[in-house]
Every structure is written in C-alpha cells, then in structure tokens.
Structure 1
C-alpha cells in the first residue's frame, strides 16, 4: 500500500532532489501557514483527514511552536520527526543543532527554502517596505532581530543555492549582522521520507491517536523555535 507524505514546502526542493519515491504520494503545504498557527493546525489536520486508505502518513513538519499538537492520526500510524522546527532536519540531526546553539547562541538560520518560502523573513521585509516605507520597516525588523547576533545559511544542495545565499547576505547587511554558512545534511530528511523510523528520531502516533507535545521534550530541555 502507498504511504502519504504531508510536508512543509520549506523541504520541497530537497525532497524533489531525491528523485522518484515509489509508493509515496506527496502533498506540500505552504510555509506561510506558520504566520497563523491555528490555520497551520487546521490545514495539516484537514490534509491528514484526507489521507485515508494509506499504510502510513508522514508529516514533514516539526511541532512548530505547538501548532501541530493535538492533530489526530487517520486509520493508520503517523510519523513526525522528534524536533520542534525544521532546522535540525536541515542540519542532519538534533544533536548538531544543539551543538551549534551551544557554541553560538543568538543564531537565526536560513536555507534556500526559508528564503523562498511564503512566510520567509526576506519577502516579509519587502512587503513591509511597501506597506510602511523602508525606514519604518527597517526599524521593525531590527527590533525583531535584536536578540540575534548572526545569520547562518544552511547549504542543502538547493538548486538556487547561490541566489538564495546572496539574498540572505543582503538581508544580513540590512540588519547589520554577519552572515555565515554551514553545510546541511539531508540524511535525517531522507530517513523521514523513506525510513526506517527510529524512535529516537521520530514520534510514531498510533491510528486514531493524537500528537502529544510532551513526546518532543527531553528532560531539562529549553525549547527555542525559530520563526513560529
């Protein structure tokens, strides 16, 4: 039987780069939904509800600021990565993300999908310039980023990597923050799509059960969710 992947389009190019995925139907949802957590919850819930008759449903999301908490699995098991947002998936592991956070707090992460996504900071800044004027938009965004001290671009093999990196650099100049780069790792994403689904990396929701936010917390863990 087929499985169904319901995925944030922040991963779209990286998943497309995997080539043909036998026995897998894919539905991408807009990253822009993160601007409205309740709407994100509703859209993912509806996509899951439409996914009857599959052997397994896979969610290409993190917990996303709690927006996915309470979503009910259909009549089959549902898999979701054991992360709070997409950044650890793009970096290849939660442990690598934690190490980067420990070594350099105040980092805001970008990738090709983040730059091109509907709710990405760069399009939001451009829309704010049109709405409020460049001076006021700059003031708003510098306040939004006042707790960050660098931008870190994750290279994932995105087909427009150099163009999206350049946009990130230009945005960093606007914010007067340094922009650095790091190599991504698609192994976590590949395992999400193709398995196996190790319990240490993924939460498995039994048929007709709901996503429990407590499944995503480690003892003493401090949760920092980017951009939700």
Structure 2
C-alpha cells in the first residue's frame, strides 16, 4: 500500500481507531512520512509514537544521518529489502519508497483501463522517471531469505544498467521504538487529540492539535 498513500492512511487510521481506550499505553507506528501516508493521522485517546523519518529507508539504515550520507554519496538509488520483496504487490518491483512498476504487466492493465494511446504515454513517463536511478541498493536486515532477494535485486540492477551495492541494515531505531527509548530528537510522541503533521524542517514531523 506504500504506492497508494491515501489508502494506506485510511487503513492506518482505521487500525488506530480500532484500539479501545486503556487497551495499551501507546500506539507504535513503524513508519516514516512515507509519501505523506502518515500525515494527518489522529491520536484519539492513546498517544502515537513514530520515528522522525521521511520514509522507511531511515528505519532500515538505523538513522536519518546514515540515510542522508547515502543520499549524498549516491542520490539516484533505488532501495530494496527482503521483507518488501517478500510482500511484493502485483505490478511492483518490491522496492522501498516510491513504487517502480513492472512494465509488461502494468502496461497491459493500462491498455485495458485507458486505451493504448494513454497507456503508451504513461509508459513513456514512467520510463523517464526510472532513468533518474543509477544504483540499486539491497539493505541486508539479516532476516528471511536474504540471499535469494539480494540476487533478485542484483538482477533488476543489471537489467536496468545500474550499479549494485549491498548495505548492512541497522535495527537500532526499531529496537528503540519497541523498547520505549523515545529520544525526542528521533521520535515524535503524538498526544491524544493531536494529529501528525509534516514539519518541513529537520524534525520531519510534529504534532498539532485537532480543531
């Protein structure tokens, strides 16, 4: 659902609202902003805690600083991890962040839905967007069938003419989230009656009262 931020937001809010008052001390949201999917989520009666992250890649690398360093070193990177590839949605490459579509499968769907002329235009636009990538990076989380999915990511890189790199994952942020070590520089605690908002600065997210 990362490719459909509005749908993901509705799903997350439904899950938050399903929790009854007093059922838990806090709701832990293991997401970043993720294409604004978490923006405007409301804490009704139980605090929400989330990492200060633009997207899930920060969670896999362990810090915003490491993600920023990788971005500066190689900005045109398409990211992969085992769990995203395991839960690959139809028509998606299984990469982290914005979705990249499988041309053949998605193109046929576009032809059926919009007609061939529009489908051709959409395909050309998508291929142009993909041309900005020059590296595929596989984040090894040490979980699941890492070797299998690393090889798949490497094959995708070869097919696209990208370089390939394997990077070790770091579960530090996720561990801190689960263990309640919510340093305010790395986590946002949203009080009841407040919503998650994008802060447009280095804090990434903030809590704002719901009118």
Category of TM-score, reference length = shorter chain: 0.7 to 0.9
TM-score, reference length from structure 2: 0.78
How big is the alpha-carbon RMSD for the aligned residues of Structure 1 and Structure 2? Answer: 2.4
Shift of 1:145: 1.7
Conserved 8 A contact 1:49-1:74: yes
Q: Report the counterpart of residue 171 of structure 2 in structure 1.
A: 186
Which of 67, 88, 93 in structure 2 is aligned with 1:122? 93
- Any idea what SS the aligned residue of 1:122 has? coil
CA deviations 1:145-193 (Å, max 9, x no partner) are: 2111101111110221001101101111221111111111111111112
- TM-fit CA distance, 1:95: 0.5
> Residue 24 of structure 1 corresponds to which residue in structure 2?
none
Report the CA distance shift for 1:41/1:97 in structure 2 as closer, same or farther (over 3 A): same
The 3 A distance-change label for structure 1 pair 131 and 87 is closer
Q: Classify 1:145/1:168 alpha carbon distance in 2 versus 1 (closer, same or farther; 3 Å).
A: same
Asked whether 1:62 is paired with 2:32, we answer yes
The residue aligned with 2:8 is 40
Whether the aligned pair in 2 keeps the contact of 1:149 and 1:178 (CA below 8 Å) is yes
Partner of 2:155: 170
Deviates more, 1:142-151 or 1:39-48: 142-151
**For structure 2, which runs of at least 5 residues remain unmatched after alignment?**
95-99, 109-119, 205-211
What does 1:90-109 correspond to in 2, within 5 Å? Answer: 90-109=60-79
Are 1:106 and 1:147, in contact at CA under 8 Å, matched by a contact in 2? yes
Runs of 4+ with >3 A deviation: 118-121, 123-126, 130-133, 136-142
Residue 14 of structure 1 is matched in structure 2 by none
Task: Give the TM-score normalised by structure 1.
Answer: 0.73
Residues 83 and 144 of structure 2 are in contact (CA less than 8 Å); yes or no, is this contact kept in structure 1?
Answer: no
**Matched positions, count:** 184
Describe the SS at the equivalent of 1:61: coil
